[in-house]
């Protein structure tokens, strides 16, 4: 059987973002978003995957998996890369997924991310949401924003991640990175305790439950800059998700609070480049007075119409971002339409109507 180190080297050499190991299939790589079965490698047996699991975990993680039947952790291969690992059971056997985390911390300019991210991460306080589906690059965007902050401002930064991915060295900032399960019980508990650690900036890997979202809002209200992720597709859906997690009796008050603290919602998708690789397309909502009024009044359906006409403030809808990438011949028309929330509108923007 090929060793896990050799499989991970193969993953890096082929430019794959993910490696999937599952009985009885051969290893499967995801390259530029497409799953590719490594047909030249043998299928994996239950014993093969058990052996791999034993070789990459500690007794601590094994006990967590035995108790929870689910496991997330980081794994490193010296001189190659770090990996985010998820283990689960399926049909009585283990299935393991590895996500590549490059050793080099991402950079806003090198990734060709919107320049407005630089201005946003230097905000003194407020809430910035980075949203998108799983695998859309949210963690990479947050890491690039933190990297810029670390180079340009003196801040005490606490990240709460599951697991810790990119490793940030202290430059101008002090950066404390906490691993949920290893360094803290939960996102919510870490957020609440972090407020006593004199932070300027809090970065929350996932905001998916009432307790975590409530703690993030409190942190932003008390003068901290909070950056967090949601598994939502666009700005209106993100605002609705934050409000809807609260009981109906609290939602009116939460709309008011959110309108006061929100600074931006950045919603992203990853799309194949015509020349190979992938590029991120961003929907950008900036909290102008008009945007804050819409949120406070609960007229969330009006957000997109304001965003469409507010390019001077740095805003754009996803369709506007996709249109620009097509016109620059960075992505294909077909891939743009497949990612659009309103293909008919995108066709009109592109002039095909």
pLDDT-derived band at 353, boundaries 50, 70, 90: very low
Q: Which of 46, 75, 101 is the last residue of a domain?
A: 101
pLDDT in tens, 242-288: 999 999 999 999 999 999 999 999 999 999 999 999 999 999 999 99
Instruction: Please give the structure tokens belonging to residue 199.
Output: 């932070």
Quickly state the pLDDT bin for 1 (edges 50, 70, 90).
Answer: confident
For 46-86, the pLDDT digits (tens) are 999 999 999 999 998 999 999 999 999 999 988 788 999 99
Same domain, 149 and 20: no
Per the structure, the count of domains in the chain is 2
Q: 155 and 49: one domain?
A: no
Calculate the alpha carbon distances from 291 to 21, 263, 311 in Å. Answer: 45, 10, 13
Report pTM: 0.90
Instruction: Give the number of residues written for the chain.
Output: 353
Classify residue 12: in a domain, yes or no: yes
Asked whether residue 81 is domain-assigned, the answer is: yes
Q: Do 194 and 94 fall into the same domain?
A: no
The model's pLDDT over 5-28, given as tens digits with 9 standing for 90+, comes to 999 999 999 999 999 999 999 999
Q: Is residue 345 part of a domain?
A: no
Residues 167, 96 share a domain: no
Q: Is the per-residue pLDDT at 184 higher than 50? A: yes
343 domain-assigned: no
**Residue range(s) defining the domain that contains residue 18:** 4-101
Q: State the sign of the Cα–Cα–Cα–Cα dihedral 116, 133, 270, 175.
A: positive
pLDDT of residue 172 exceeding 90, the answer is yes
Domain boundary among 41, 69, 101: 101
CA distance 25 to 42: 8
Rounded mean pLDDT of 164-181?
A: 95
* 179 and 72 both lie in a single domain: no
Q: Assess whether 24 and 77 both reside in one domain.
A: yes
Determine the pLDDT at residue 253: 98
Which of 71, 101, 131 marks a domain boundary? 101
**DSSP assignment string, 206-267:** ---SHHHHHHHHHHHHTT-EEEEEES-SSHHHHHHHHHHTS-HHHHHHHHHHHHHHEEEEEE
What does pLDDT average to over the chain? 95
Contact 196, 205 (CB under 8 A): no
Same domain, 163 and 206: yes
**Within this chain, do residues 45 and 143 fall inside the same structural domain, yes or no?**
no
The predicted pLDDT at position 352 comes to: 64
Residue 127 lies in a domain: yes
Task: CATH number of the domain at 135, please.
Answer: 3.40.50.300
Q: Is 161 helix (H, G, I), strand (E, B) or coil?
A: strand
Q: 171: which 2 tokens?
A: 């430059």
Whether residue 228 sits in one domain with residue 134: yes
Tokens of 60: 């601590």
Residue from 3, 182, 137 nearest 19 by CA: 3
Residue 147 and residue 232 in one domain:
yes
**Pick from 29, 25, 39: nearest CA to 9:** 29
State pLDDT tens for residues 43-54: 999 999 999 999
Instruction: Determine, yes or no, domain membership for 87.
Output: yes
pLDDT at 181: 83
Domain assignment present for 192:
yes
Q: Are residues 96 and 179 in the same domain?
A: no
- Residue 342 forms part of a structural domain: no
Mean pLDDT of 174-191: 94
Distance between CA atoms of residues 156 and 149, nearest Å: 10
Q: 159 and 95, same structural domain?
A: no
Domain CATH for 27: 3.30.450.90
């Amino acid at each position: 059987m090929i060793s896990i180190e050799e499989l991970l080297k193969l993953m890096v050499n082929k430019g794959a973002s993910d490696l999937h190991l599952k009985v009885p299939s051969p290893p499967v790589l995801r390259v530029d978003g497409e799953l590719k079965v490594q047909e030249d490698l043998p299928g994996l047996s239950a014993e093969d995957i058990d052996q791999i699991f034993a070789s990459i975990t500690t007794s601590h993680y094994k006990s967590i998996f035995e108790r929870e039947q689910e496991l997330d952790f980081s794994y490193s291969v010296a001189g190659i890369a770090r990996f985010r690992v998820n283990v689960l059971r399926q049909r009585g056997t283990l299935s393991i997924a590895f996500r590549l985390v490059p050793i080099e911390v991402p950079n806003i300019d090198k990734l060709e991310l919107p320049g407005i991210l630089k201005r946003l991460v230097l905000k003194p306080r407020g809430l910035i949401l980075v949203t998108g589906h799983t695998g859309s690059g949210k963690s990479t965007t947050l890491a690039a924003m933190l990297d810029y902050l670390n180079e340009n401002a003196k801040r005490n930064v606490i990240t709460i991640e599951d697991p810790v991915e990119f490793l940030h060295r202290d430059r101008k900032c002090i950066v404390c990175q906490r691993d949920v399960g290893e360094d803290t019980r939960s996102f919510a508990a870490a957020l609440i305790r972090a407020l006593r650690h004199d932070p300027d900036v809090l970065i929350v890997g996932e905001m998916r439950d009432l307790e975590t979202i409530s703690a993030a809002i409190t942190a932003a209200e008390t003068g901290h800059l909070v950056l967090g992720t949601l598994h939502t597709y666009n700005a209106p859906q993100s605002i609705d998700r934050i409000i809807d997690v609260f009981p109906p009796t609290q939602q009116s008050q939460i709309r008011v609070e959110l309108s006061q603290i929100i600074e931006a919602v950045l919603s992203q998708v990853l799309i194949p480049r015509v020349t190979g690789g992938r590029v991120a397309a961003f929907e950008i909502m900036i909290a102008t007075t008009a945007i804050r009024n819409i949120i406070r009044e609960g007229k969330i359906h009006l957000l997109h119409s304001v965003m469409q006409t507010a390019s001077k403030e740095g805003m754009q809808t996803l369709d506007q971002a996709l249109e620009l990438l097509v016109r620059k011949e960075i992505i294909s028309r077909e891939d743009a339409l497949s990612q659009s929330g309103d293909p008919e509108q995108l066709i009109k923007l592109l002039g095909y109507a």
